[in-house]
Copies of this chain bind each other. A is one copy, B any other.
Amino acid sequence: MAVALADIEAAADRLKGWAVETPLIESPALNERLGLRVLIKPETLQRVGAFKFRGAFNRLVQLTPEERTRGVVAFSSGNHAQGVALAANLLGVPALIVMPSDAPKVKAEATAGYGAEVRFYDRLTESREQIAAAIAQERGAVIVPAFDDPHIIAGQGTTGLELVRQAQALGASLDVVIAPCSGGGLLAGVATAVKALSPATALIGAEPAGYDDTLRSLQAGERRSVTPARRTLCDALESPAPGELTFPILLRHVADMAVVTDAEVAEAVRYAAATLKLVAEPGGAAGLAALLAGKVETFGGRTVGLVLSGGNIDPGLFARILRNEI
């Protein structure tokens, strides 16, 4: 495997003092509704409002001095972009982020706000991989992948490391852990940490309808791509296929995938705001949506760890969801 517990523990040491150790939050109302004990890991409270800072910082802090001067290039629709931009800013590394021109405004503005250079591209006519590769070559810059990199996976895995240890501190043992899944960096990292520390815990991923590439790949036993007919409300979960490095980890550790609709995700965003009093973006609420929709197989277990992975939602979209317009 590309990533071991030791890599995640090393990442946790590198992140100490830089990343937020997000708390575990418990809602009696949610527990009563589900008949479960749900321990929520709100990465919405992480720097940049999503877990992505963990992996980005863990990668950038390991650049050589010479690589740091040449800078980094990344492509992302938003949260990885912000994670790389802030990590680069904190470490004094020049960063250029290639973002789709239709990326959520709040994410594009925040990325530029962290001091990164932003290069927009047309999702339909241009290849972000080619643009990033060309810029990287021209500048001798290091490309920072969104998920398919062992340092990125290890960084995201620190979310799982904290989750298990915080649950243990409460005297709770996790029967199930659920996290959103796009390219699989978060889920693979979390699964690696959780399975190493709590082998009996079942790992569940959540992905949006139309982007169930991980479910299909796990069923096939090999990486499968989807060619989505339309966008999803979960702008953070639009990867069409699991990664080369993430997939074998997911195949080894993930017990089940839950596929959620836009309506279920919107309901989860409303529930998070109205009952949990937490702001979650659609992709970040995918696991909560699966739980609320009764789509999570808990294998008879009662204690669930839930990663609320991001909270970067455009105010206008958030307002429309709050008004039941979506």
Contact = CB atoms under 8 A, between A and B. Distances in A.
A20 interface: yes
A45 B315 contact: no
Contact of A322 (B27, B28, B311, B318): B318
Contacts of A28: 20, 47
Interface in A242-300: 270, 273-280
Which label, helix, strand, loop or mixed, suits the secondary structure of the A interface? Answer: helix
A277 B45 contact: yes
A44 B277 contact: yes
A231 to B, nearest CB: 22
A171 interface: no
Contacts of A277: 42, 44-45, 49, 278-280, 311
B274 A315 contact: yes
The range of chain A's interface size is 20 to 34
A273 B241 CA distance: 32
Copy number of this protein in the oligomer?
Answer: 2
Contact of A279 (B24, B45, B49, B279): B279
A270 B315 contact: yes
Contacts of A311: 277
User: Which of A44, A45, A311 is most buried by chain B, counting CB atoms within 10 A of its CB?
Assistant: A45
A315 B318 CA distance: 10
A146 B293 CA distance: 37
A273 B26 CA distance: 19
Nearest to A49: B277
A21 to B, nearest CB: 10
Interface in A8-53: 20, 23-29, 42, 44-45, 47, 49
19 contacts: A20-B26, A20-B27, A20-B28, A23-B23, A23-B25, A25-B45, A28-B47, A45-B277, A49-B275, A49-B277, A270-B315, A277-B280, A277-B311, A278-B278, A315-B322, A318-B319, A318-B322, A319-B322, A322-B322
